[in-house]
Chain A
Amino acid sequence: GAVVSQHPSRVICKSGTSVKIECRSLDFQATTMFWYRQFPKQSLMLMATSNEGSKATYEQGVEKDKFLINHASLTLSTLTVTSAHPEDSSFYICSARGGEGGRTSTDTQYFGPGTRLTVL
């Protein structure tokens, strides 16, 4: 099946630093990628949707200047948490969806394993 990887799986950083999380679709072209945030024992909160080559669409309440998303290619999207603070500590999950005519269903999202961010 379709595989999505995330790197790093865990990161601990100091307050005020920036952290970049990579999301890759390993065996299919992801025309759309989604970034979610998950708090302990809660559901996924969609942060933004990105399409390759265009600017990300952020959900209401998500600071686009703080959470920078780049979808530079059909297999890579990055989320950069700028000037991280302890309240940004969370589990960040990316998800990818293939385009029409590809080997994956356009109806299905494939999720990465998540990145645990801890800001001290």
Chain B
Amino acid sequence: GNSVTQMEGPVTLSEEAFLTINCTYTATGYPSLFWYVQYPGEGLQLLLKATKADDKGSNKGFEATYRKETTSFHLEKGSVQVSDSAVYFCALRSAGKSTFGDGTTLTVKP
């Protein structure tokens, strides 16, 4: 079956540090890939997505590139802010079903 593996957290960074959260996947066919962010007490919000190989999704300074050869979709941001503190979920969608990673908690300290 399909699966998503995320870098284990928690991740703690200082403000303006560089962020990478690794995500790799296993899927049949050609899935779409997503990053969602969940702030405390809230539901998931779509952060960015990519629907085919070599596509780059970007939003709010975050980026992720769909790498078919390495089956990866790593999330990056050049300079994190305190307001980026949240849980980040990598997910794939294939054949109408979504599969989520376990989430990575990011804490950014001033």
Contact = CB atoms under 8 A, between A and B. Distances in A.
Contacts of B68: none
Contacts of A34: 98
Contacts of A54: none
Interface of B is mostly: strand
Contact of A114 (B43, B46, B93, B102): B43
B44 A107 contact: no
A8 to B, nearest CB: 13
Contacts, number: 45
* Best-buried of B32, B46, B49, B89 by chain A (most CB within 10 Å): B46
Contact of A42 (B32, B42, B102): B102
Interface in A33-50: 34, 41-44, 46, 49
B62 interface: no
Nearest to A6: B43
A43 B43 contact: no
